[in-house]
Amino acid sequence: MTANPISIQKTKNPKNRPSADSLGFGRYFTDHMFLASYSTQKGWHNLRITPYEPIPLDPGASVLHYGQALFEGMKAFSHQDGSCVLFRPEFNWARMAEGAERLCMIAPPKEVFIEGIKELIKVDRDWIPSEKGCSLYIRPTLIGSESFLGVRPAEEYLFFTILSPVASYYGEGTKAVKIWVEEEYLRAAPGGLGATKAAANYAGSLKAALQAKKNSYSQVLWLDVNRQYIEEVGTMNVFFVFENEIVTPSLEGTILGGGTRNSIITLLKSKNKPVVERRVKLQEVRDAAANGTLKEIFGTGTAAVISPVGELAAKDWKISVNNGEMGPVAASLYEELTGIQNGTVKDTFNWLYKI
């Protein structure tokens, strides 16, 4: 337990539970939320679980003006023996702490982050769906809450966590998705916020994503500032299975280092598969598609887990990958990672955190 006690106020009006087939992604929120406040004078204080409700925020709060906002995305799973686990919560805490440093925010200490989420899930435990492919998505969020109009880091922060029972991120499940190569807009530039889960990165990505969706593409593939090297997909890191190696773009400050990416690299290395982190030129992928050495492309992320890419397209070209289907490398990684998460495959790497 944290030295800082968590008060719990339960709702008097529990919501109706949505059926598993209506879940989709992020449509429903559970009955409660966790909050913690920070001020320079008091440090982290007032740790509380309350009914899920709107949060009062001063119109002068720094998040509303200068965008001091960071979030995380992680999942809890229910196991057949009735237990319930978090997947790699320390990874998400560490990423939030790094992002907070870049945005001059104060991150909650690890025990506030993890204990708060753990206690919240205990309260809303019967919201964790047990159907195949479903889980409880966890959205820890940190915002600057001080009301002050000068441009400087806030001296007050609010950390809150909300929960959403979810099914597959894309309506397609593990069916291959079509991805648009974005050659006009840019997600991140060297020296910017690309390596953080800053809300601002997502605001900047919406226009390109909307345009891609209009043309029936699920997400965009972002390129580097010179539009030559591949960075990542909208909400996923990306892997290329070439004939002799499995490659994912190296983390050089403009890409979000995904927890799923890290887990997949670890799984591949444990099997002595030739996985490499390096820069990947878009032209290299197009050439490999043309000469038959590109076997698979897949995205990795908490929401989608592993999402095979069946088509990559830009204004004047298009390539089909593995006949538009999930390939064997993606399929076996999907089975293994979801197996660990669901408790049917041994957790050799100690990724599960029991609640």
Ligand X SMILES: Cc1ncc(COP(=O)(O)O)c(C=O)c1O
Residues that bind ligand X (CB under 6 A): 73, 232, 235-237, 256, 258-261, 300-302
Q: Which residue number, 48 or 261, has a Cβ lying nearer to ligand X?
A: 261
- Least distance to ligand X from the beta carbon of 323, Å? 26
Residue 140 exposure: Cα atoms within 13 Å on the Cβ side: 32
Report how far apart, in Å, the C-alpha atoms of 255 and of each of 75, 218, 231 are. 21, 19, 6
Q: Tell me how far, at minimum, the Cβ of 297 lies from ligand X, in Å.
A: 15
Angle of helix 89-102 relative to helix 110-123, nearest 10 degrees?
130
- Tell me the residue number closest to ligand X, measured at CB: 258
Please report how close the Cβ of residue 319 comes to ligand X at its closest, in angstroms. 22
Considering the complex, state which of residue 164 and residue 300 has its C-beta at the smaller distance from ligand X: 300
Closest distance between ligand X and the C-beta of residue 52, in Å?
22
In this complex, which beta carbon is closest to ligand X, that of residue 237 or of residue 322?
A: 237
Closest approach, Cβ 42 to ligand X, in A, equals: 31
Residue 172 to residue 189: CA distance in whole angstroms: 31
Closer to ligand X by Cβ: residue 49 or 233: 233
Select 141 or 302, whichever has its Cβ closest to ligand X: 302
Closer Cβ to ligand X, 145 or 302, answer by number: 302
d(CA 302, CA 322) in angstroms, rounded, equals 24
CB of 133 to ligand X, least distance (A): 16
Report CA Rg, the chain. Answer: 21
